[in-house]
Amino acid sequence: MAAKLPRIAVLGSLNMDLVSYVPHHPLPGETLTATSFAVSPGGKGANQAVACAKLSRSRADASSSSSSAHASTATASVAMIGSVGTDTYGTTLRENLAAHGVDAERVSALEGRKTGVAIIIVDEPSGQNRIVLSPEANHALQPEDVSPAPALIRTLGGAAADLLIMQLEIPLQTVLAALRSAREAGVPVLLNPAPAVTLPADALRGLAHLVVNETEAAILGECEESVLDSEEGMEKVASGFIEKGVANVIITLGGRGVYYMNKAGEKGLLPAQKAKVVDTTAAGDTFVGQYALEAVSSKFDIVAAVNKSNRAAAKTVERQGAQVSIPWRDELL
């Protein structure tokens, strides 16, 4: 009998990305002519689900017409939970998830709602982006959909996942309810609190993995971002999260690398992977996807997980787009 695949569930946002590539970010009152424009599937939740799926499969396997072959070569089973509208964007997002091997059965198409949209402006010289998010149907996910614990398990398809991934592009109260339900059900959680807001004191209690960037770490750690300029400051902030009940803390620092710490006392700053930056969209989501796959493996090692996630994210920034830029498993070999 084949071994049961680890099961990853992603509860979060689905958006259609409207992306303009410009020679520089516009100044107040300035009108720019874009050098190019793209419409593509996105949303932090959907990006992370697709990242898990693509990074757990080879490109050749995914393009196979045999669904059994597709499933047999995967290293994880991935399901997306969220809401879209009954419009063309919503249909495209659900079909795109399925095409990448993500179970989209629990992505609801809601009558009278519009699908979420993200307007993204990418500065071509630096690859840095600015994003305006319109949540729309994403905010239809309510606490009662995931609470109490039995409701969350139903949402996960009737069985507890090996890992639940969440971000903050759906209502905060829904995320907090899911955190409580996962705790009750014994489902490990990876929280990527983006866009960052201050969380209640007990939100981090029992959290298996916290993945934050510098801005998010400063907001959650209630400190100035400049504190993270030194390794001593990183250690102090990460220690605070460990004291609040997080088992593994990851702070991504862009070109400076990644700082990690776990409750066993392992800690350190790992260098960033070298890359020619074209577009940073979905780089963080790619990191989360690869890290999640490492987290559900039978031999999780935090240093190896960070290094592999760094490599995956470096591939992503070398390409334009969100989900299309995420590498397949064989591209990291």
List, for residues 75-86, the tens digit of each pLDDT value. 999 999 999 999
3-class state of residue 59 by DSSP: helix
pLDDT of residue 157: 85
Q: Which residues are catalytic?
A: 285
pLDDT of residue 119: 95
Rounded distance between C-alpha atoms, residue 71 and residue 55, angstroms: 13
pLDDT of residue 68: 46
State the helix-helix crossing angle for 302-317 and 283-295, rounded to 10 degrees.
150
On the question of pLDDT at 72 being above 80, the answer is: no
**Residue closest to 115 by CA, chosen among 12, 38, 13:** 13
pLDDT of residue 64: 57
Rounded distance between C-alpha atoms, residue 24 and residue 145, angstroms: 42
Confidence of residue 1 (pLDDT cuts 50, 70, 90): very low
> Exposed, middle or buried: residue 240 (CB in 10 Å: 0-12, 13-18, 19+)?
middle
The radius of gyration computed from the CA coordinates of the chain, to the nearest angstrom, equals: 19
State mean pLDDT over 284-305. Answer: 96
Confidence of residue 67 (pLDDT cuts 50, 70, 90): very low
pLDDT of residue 3: 65
Rounded distance between C-alpha atoms, residue 105 and residue 253, angstroms: 35
Mean pLDDT of the chain: 92
Cβ-based neighbours of 229, under 8 Å, separated by 6 or more: none
On the question of pLDDT at 65 being above 90, the answer is: no
State mean pLDDT over 175-197. Answer: 96
**118 touches 134 (CB < 8 A):** yes
Report how far apart, in Å, the C-alpha atoms of 323 and of each of 24, 113, 156 are. Answer: 23, 23, 23
pLDDT of residue 63: 62
State mean pLDDT over 271-296. Answer: 92
pLDDT of residue 239: 98
On the question of pLDDT at 66 being above 80, the answer is: no
Mean pLDDT lowest among 67-76, 101-110, 153-162, 273-282: 67-76
Tokens in use for 169?
Answer: 């592009």
Encode pLDDT of 297-330 as tens digits: 989 999 999 999 999 999 999 998 888 889 999 9
Report how far apart, in Å, the C-alpha atoms of 236 and of each of 187, 192, 251, 257 are. Answer: 28, 19, 12, 17
State mean pLDDT over 191-197. Answer: 95
Spell out the CATH class of 7-332.
alpha beta
- End-to-end CA gap in the chain: 28
Helix, strand, coil % over all residues of the chain, rounded to 5: 40, 25, 40
**179 touches 201 (CB < 8 A):** no
Rounded distance between C-alpha atoms, residue 182 and residue 150, angstroms: 10
State mean pLDDT over 227-253. Answer: 97
Number of H helices, E strands in the chain: 10, 13
Beta strands in the chain (DSSP E): 7-11, 15-22, 36-42, 77-85, 102-110, 116-123, 129-134, 163-166, 189-191, 209-213, 248-252, 258-262, 267-270
